[in-house]
Amino acid sequence: MPAKFRRPLLLAVGALLAAAVAVPVGSAWAAGPADPGSPAAQPRIVGGGEASLSDHPYAVYLTDQSGSQFCGAVIVSSSAVATAAHCAKAVSQSDVRVVAGRQDKRGSDGVVLPVSRVWTAPGFSDPTKGDDVAVLTVRGRLPYRAAKLAGSGDRSLYAEGEQATVLGWGRLAEGGDRSDVLRSAQVPLVSDATCQSAYDSYDPSSMVCAGYPQGGTDACQGDSGGPLMAGDTLIGIVSFGDGCAKAGKPGVYTRVAAFSDDIEAQSQSRLFG
Ligand code: ARG
């Protein structure tokens, strides 16, 4: 079994069942449900694993007025994090905190910083319509390495089948509990045509999909706003999905390359206005 398959973020029992009964998937879907290289076809890796902040220091989370983690985010400069627009809108700016350097939510490692400014993509209304990206400027400094941003020249990072890593503290299963610790999963990028057939509202100019045809590995509630990485490069931000880890329903991510100029501009600490 390849090492890259050992850390699924979310492992739904339903995905096992789906693999076992070989639920039919759409014809546009490239690989069949019996693909032997897939996590869902290998129940022994179901259960997942922790990720380390020493490998992913840019992974952070957001807490609400009660101190509960509600979304992920990713460090993009020493004073800013990128997240999903729907996360930025979910909690009032004065209540949000950015928690960085804390792999286990139960601990007290790292820093907890308030937010001094919020930029939300102007076109955002609903995740399914795209533009699901925001930049939060923190009060104070983030003493951890920022992720690189995918740019317009990085088309190859979005090629179908390329492996990417999604990170978060979200649910371990659809409808299940959130993770106390950072988790990661490897998911292959899905073609625009395939994602279009899974989601009517899919917009390839501002979104990208990732996941296995048979499901089994995915982001889930609470992971929104968190990073989808190709190596050290941020290529996506967790946005939405139909349930979690369902066959034929890959996770949908904000396509970072389409917003890198905005994210870059909003990450500078010397902005005014
Ligand atoms: N909207 C969810 C959140 O707010 C994230 C959903 C991602 N779902 C998925 N199946 N990839 O946390």
- Tell me the per-residue pLDDT of 132-188, one tens digit each, with 9 for 90 and over: 999 999 999 999 999 999 999 999 999 999 999 999 999 988 888 899 999 999 999
Question: What local confidence, expressed as pLDDT, does residue 18 receive?
Answer: 39
* Contact criterion met (CB below 8 Å) for 237 and 209: no
Domain 1-273 has CATH 3.30.1440.10: no
Question: What local confidence, expressed as pLDDT, does residue 271 receive?
Answer: 55
76 vs 70: CA distance, rounded Å: 19
Q: Is the CB of 244 under 6 A from ligand 1?
A: yes
**Residues taking part in catalysis:** 86, 132, 224
CA dihedral 258, 261, 264, 270 (to 10 degrees): -150
Question: What local confidence, expressed as pLDDT, does residue 220 receive?
Answer: 93
Q: What is the pTM of this model?
A: 0.84
Q: Is the CB of 169 under 6 A from ligand 1?
A: no
> What are 223-255's pLDDT values in tens digits?
999 999 999 999 999 999 999 999 999 999 999
Q: Ligand 1 pocket test: which of 61, 63, 239, 249 has the largest number of ligand atoms within 8 Å of its C-beta? A: 239
pLDDT mean over 118-138: 98
In the reported structure, the alpha carbon of residue 99 is separated from the centroid of ligand 1 by a whole-number distance in angstroms of: 19
Residue 68 has pLDDT above 60, yes or no: yes
In the reported structure, the alpha carbon of residue 130 is separated from the centroid of ligand 1 by a whole-number distance in angstroms of: 14
Amino acid 34 reads A
